[in-house]
Chains A and B, each alone.
Chain A
Amino acid sequence: MGKTLAEKVWDAHVVRRAEGEPDLLYIDLHLVHEVTSPQAFEGLRLAGRPVRRPDLTLATEDHNTPTLDIDKPIADLTSRTQIETLRRNCAEFGIRLHPLGDVEQGIVHVVGPQLGLTQPGLTVVCGDSHTSTHGAFGALAFGIGTSEVEHVLATQTLPLRPFKTMAINVEGQLRPGTSAKDIILAVIAKIGTGGGQGYVLEYRGEAIRSLSMEARMTICNMSIEAGARAGMIAPDETTFEYIKGRPHAPEGKEWDAALEDWKSLRTDDDAEFDAEVTIDAGALEPFVTWGTNPGQGLPLSAAVPDPDSFADESARAAARRALQYMDLEPGTPLRDIPVDTVFIGSCTNGRIEDLRAAAAVVKGRRKADGVRVLVVPGSHRVREQAEREGLDAIFTEFGAEWRHAGCSMCLGMNPDQLAPGERSASTSNRNFEGRQGKGGRTHLVSPLVAAATGVRGTLSSPADLEPATPTR
């Protein structure tokens, strides 16, 4: 019997296999940031252990970093301490770091692909659950905890039980006004936040093949929101084209050898998945969440659901609790929900194509009164590119704030937060209670919906907008 893509990558990285023990898996690329690494480095120091492969390790500052006044010392002392701790640790252990202000700084999951470090067939880990992003290249990429960060730093391996595999077949083609974000929100709503537990998801089908690398990253990024530690897409010409010429892409004969390897990275025709799910991209509408977990989502044309409409008691209780926290009444059309803030950014939707899509919607318009719109590029390079294309001017004329790169309001570890009771339409990945600031309420949306919501002030899609009036 043939193998799935995930099994091929797994099998190529087994350092040691023994009866009754997890496989010991080799890690090709270890990405590090300031939040989940300090205790791991401290562990190494206490045990007198070096970092085994600094040349397979890369660090960046993203979670805590401010998006304003980045040339000044970080005002929050605990944030500043954590950043300074990363700088000291990287210097001590010989790890390359892209600090705040550096041209390569940005969200770790935007930086890896941008540098060409993320490549097909690699094993990639990071102390961050959205490491699943890198699976878009056909890498086996997953988030790990701090103990595992220390383990990888010390040994460049991890003991792991094999995952099961699940095929997510996305058939048909997306319609105008919908995007990769709507695909993944629909997948999560279908299989639930626990549906992918224990699985690697492989996204397949016509709709996936048509997507750009950036859109594929959006999809793989949120695999963890369905409970799956990793999501993958088989590499193809789109993938190879994206990587070619990037700073860390192989060159010359190495490129040819790499390409030959990469082309074998697809699920064999006679391979079997442990589970399969199919959705029709052509039937999708813009998707938004109404609750406090990413599985609580519906098409924008729907209304806030009645908790009693759910089949099992646990879902009913979760929905009641979510509606109370979100301050929503059953039956309210989702389009009528007003927001205070629109956040465009994050490792899910902070890349250049996301900013282009949002800018195309808001061009020549003014934001709704009283709505704050924050645009935070995923990396410094993305910010530069957007400025070259004049997107920053489009956003600022719209009335949005144009910020520096980082995780920002996705998780509110820096000053970019919702105030208690405030409501956002956010292109990020989690609508958990308090995720974007204590008491804040989050609706997850695509960049297109975020932009249109900024125009109307209530959850909207571009199709809901009047034509823009030329301003000059």
Chain B
Amino acid sequence: MEKFIRHTGVGVPMRHSNVDTDQIIPAVYLKRVSRTGFEDALFAAWRNDESFILNQEPYRSGSVLVAGPDFGTGSSREHAVWALKDYGFKAVLSARFADIFRGNSGKQGLVTGQLAQDDIEQIWKVLENEPGTEVTVDLEQRQVRCADIVAPMEVDEYTRWRLMEGLDDIALTLRHTDDIDDFETSRPSHKPRTLV
């Protein structure tokens, strides 16, 4: 996985709350068996509307999504993260994220920075008044900067470390195979097995 220290790119103000993963990527796109090429599927239904933010310059080429609270609710589909990444987003900022979406993002190197809603509102105003303004997401400093706004950003410490080191979760766990072997010897024998 690519290391993430900080990123600066055009911010996209998305004033929706409760952006569920069905909106981020509708189910019809989940039939694919590949892990790449989902950029066309991102917000597919909303992109049919000309006034949708990603249909407008310069937001079209944005890489930092600044969204309303409860982003990524609903379905566990990691395709939502792949679609955001494939489109070119490096980070999503929101006052609240759904747990599964946030976990999926961390596995894929998409930063989910939690900001105070007041800071989100300030950043929205800047991005709407000065379209094309860049936002810096600084994982090292746990900070978001936009124009003269400097906002503290909450990220899970372990995920932050892993993203900054660019480490793959499975490889990290496989270092502890002995612990897993030990645990398995003490599992009760009445636990079910699928193969009989």
Residues of A within 8 A of B (CB): 15-16, 20-22, 24, 26, 28-29, 35-36, 38-39, 42-43, 47, 49, 52, 54-58, 63-64, 76, 78-79, 81-82, 85, 94, 96, 116-117, 119, 122, 127-129, 142-148, 150-151, 154-157, 159, 161, 193-194, 197-198, 224-225, 227, 229, 248, 250, 254-255, 257-258, 261, 293, 314-315, 317-318, 321, 411-413, 430, 432-435, 438
B57-65, B83-91, B94-102: which lies at the interface: B94-102
Once bound together, how far apart are the Cα atoms of A464 and B70, in whole Å?
37
- CB-CB nearest in chain A for B99: A229
Instruction: Evaluate contact between A15 and B15: CB separation under 8 angstroms.
Output: no
Report the minimal beta-carbon distance from A448 to chain B, rounded to whole angstroms: 25
Report the minimal beta-carbon distance from A20 to chain B, rounded to whole angstroms: 7
- CB-CB nearest in chain B for A434: B45
Give every chain B residue within 8 A of A64 (Cβ-Cβ). Answer: 31
Once bound together, how far apart are the Cα atoms of A42 and B31, in whole Å?
15
Give every chain A residue within 8 A of B189 (Cβ-Cβ). Answer: 254, 257
Give every chain B residue within 8 A of A127 (Cβ-Cβ). Answer: 76, 78
Instruction: Evaluate contact between B158 and A58: CB separation under 8 angstroms.
Output: no
- For the complex with contacts A26-B187, A248-B194, 16 further pairs of A-B residues with Cβ separation under 8 Å are A21-B158, A26-B180, A26-B184, A43-B35, A54-B194, A81-B33, A128-B75, A146-B104, A147-B108, A148-B107, A155-B174, A197-B97, A248-B196, A318-B16, A412-B28, A438-B28
Give every chain A residue within 8 A of B33 (Cβ-Cβ). Answer: 38-39, 42, 81-82, 85
- CB-CB nearest in chain A for B193: A55
The verdict on A96 contacting B74 (CB below 8 Å), with A24-B176, A145-B100, A156-B180 known, is no
Cβ contacts B15-40/A at 8 Å (1 or 0 each): 11110101100111011111100000
Once bound together, how far apart are the Cα atoms of A413 and B26, in whole Å?
9
Instruction: Evaluate contact between B173 and A151: CB separation under 8 angstroms.
Output: yes
Return the contact of A47 from the options B81, B170, B188 (Cβ within 8 A). Answer: B170
Give every chain B residue within 8 A of A157 (Cβ-Cβ). Answer: 173, 180
A-B CB proximity, top 8 nearest: A145-B104, A147-B107, A145-B78, A38-B33, A143-B76, A78-B31, A258-B190, A146-B78
